[in-house]
Structure formats: structure tokens, C-alpha cells
Amino acid sequence: MSCGIYKITCMPNKRFYIGQSLNCLKRFNSHICRLRKRTHENSILQNCYNKHGESSLMIELIESCDSQFLNEKEQHWIDIHFSDPLNMNINPMAVTPPNRKGKPLSEETKKKISESNKGKKKPSLSVSLLGNTRGSSVKHTDEFKKKVSLIHSGKILSEETKQRISEKQQGNKYCLGRNQKEETKKKISDSKTSLIPKYLLSPENELFEFFNIKKFCCEHDLKENHVHSLLKNRIKSYKQWTNPNHHCL
């Protein structure tokens, strides 16, 4: 895919992201790589990926142009779509040059950034330190833990707040410690038991029908893994028990 302006669309909800690249397909693969690692800088696009999956994203080239016009063209498309609620672009500017540090922003740029941030909730410092780690198994360093600890240290909770926390913690939360009725236990047990009957021939050539492998193994002093292998015809016999279906193959 050639140089120009690309558009990434999340097909289930039609939300889109506009960007520029010298090689749009290569740039799309770069997006996918960061999305897979859950480290993408655009939290909206990351959330779409997390919810709908990689196959939901589609890229298209919306305008081809020379590399010298990339910033101008991308800004043109962002200006058109930035107010669209389906737009996932966070930055109203097409590009932030690497040598931007120390240079004052124009009033127009400041206004665009201000408008883009209106209505957005600012996360607490502890949340911003976490980064975009939802669903990932991140092990925090001691330095990070110390920072979070310092953020929360010195906070004094009011008696009203303490009471609310106490009330929320009371009772059986998420079935913890809850005594289930026998009828409920039976329903849960039945739901976990396969409804397909299984058959095995005993050493005495007696045919046994059963549904629950674990229960059957306990009753006949057998090991579950060997019984599974026997039922799947991986082995011919186990402790002289045989699978009657094996002879029909």
C-alpha cells in the first residue's frame, strides 16, 4: 500500500482512526503489533481492539500523496472528521514534530487541543502511572509501588466514607461463604455432567453405562486419565476394562 493517508475502521461499530505513512500497510502492521501487546498509545483504538478483536479492523487508503504533503493532507482529513463522534483520533493536530519542545503553540493550536480535551475525565496519578495494562499480567517494580504508596499516603477517610466502605463489604459477595441449597447444588452438578452416556466392559465382561467419569473412577478404583484414553480408543484396555466401541472400529 503506497504513501498517503490511511483510515483504520472498526467494522462492528464503524469507529475510525486517520493517520499518515510512507507505507500504509507497514504502518497498519505496526498498529496491530502494539495493539496485540496492549501498549497502543490511542486508548480508544486499543479498547476497540480488546472488545472486537483483530479481525474487526480494516485499513483503506483514502488519499495518495507525496511524502512532502503528508502533514498537510492528514490535517485536512482530521479537520473534516475530528468532531465526528465515531472518530478515534485523540490529537487534533496531524503531527507533533520532534523538535517542538520549547516552541510556543499558536492560539489556533491551543484552541483545538482545548476543544479535544473538553468533557474528558482526567485520571488520578495512580491510574495514569499504571498505563494501558488492562487484561495484561504486569509485574510492577518496587519503585512503582513506592510511587503509588506515596500518592495515597496521608489521606484521611471521613467516618461517613469508612461507614460506606464497611457497608459495601458486608454480606455474601460473589457467593463467598454462601450456603447453597441442595437443589441448587444438584443443578450445578448436572450442568457440569455430560448428558452423553459412556460405556465400558468390566473384566467380568459386564457392560457399565455412566455419565460422570470422575464418579465412575472413584467407584471402581480407576484413574481418570486412563479411562479417558480408553474411551477415546487411545489404548485397548486398562486393568482389563475395555471399550465395547473399540471392537466396532
Summary mean pLDDT of the chain: 80
Supply the pLDDT for residue 171.
Answer: 61
Q: Is the predicted pLDDT of residue 238 greater than 90, yes or no? A: yes
Supply the pLDDT for residue 101.
Answer: 42
Cα separation values, 140 from 50, 123, 143, 144, 205, Å: 22, 19, 8, 6, 60
Supply the pLDDT for residue 210.
Answer: 87
Supply the pLDDT for residue 121.
Answer: 60
**Quick one: fold of 4-94+105-114?**
GIY-YIG endonuclease (3.40.1440)
pLDDT in tens, 42-82: 999 999 999 999 999 999 999 999 988 999 999 999 999 98
Supply the pLDDT for residue 104.
Answer: 65
Supply the pLDDT for residue 1.
Answer: 61
| CATH 3.40.1440.10 domain range(s) in the chain | 4-94+105-114
Name the CATH architecture for the domain at 193-248. Orthogonal Bundle (1.10)
Q: Is the predicted pLDDT of residue 9 greater than 80, yes or no? A: yes
Supply the pLDDT for residue 161.
Answer: 81
Can you tell me the distance from the alpha carbon of 184 to that of 113, in angstroms, rounded to the nearest whole number?
56
- For residue 96, which phi and psi values (nearest 5 degrees)? -115, 105
Question: Cα 202–208–212 angle (5° rounding)?
Answer: 115
Higher-confidence residue of 81 and 146: namely 81
Supply the pLDDT for residue 167.
Answer: 77
Sort residue 17 into left (φ over 0), alpha (ψ -120 to 50) or beta. beta
Can you tell me the distance from the alpha carbon of 233 to that of 197, in angstroms, rounded to the nearest whole number?
16
Can you tell me the distance from the alpha carbon of 208 to that of 48, in angstroms, rounded to the nearest whole number?
51
Supply the pLDDT for residue 194.
Answer: 60
Mean pLDDT check: name the lowest of 171-175, 181-185, 197-201.
171-175
Mean pLDDT check: name the lowest of 4-18, 81-95, 151-165, 225-239.
151-165
pLDDT in tens, 99-141: 444 456 778 878 887 887 777 665 544 444 444 445 455 667 7
| CATH 1.10.10.10 domain range(s) in the chain | 193-248
All residues at 6 or more sequence positions from 81 whose CB lies less than 8 Å from its CB, including other chains: 16, 18, 87, 89
Supply the pLDDT for residue 173.
Answer: 55
pTM: 0.40
Question: Cα 178–184–185 angle (5° rounding)?
Answer: 80
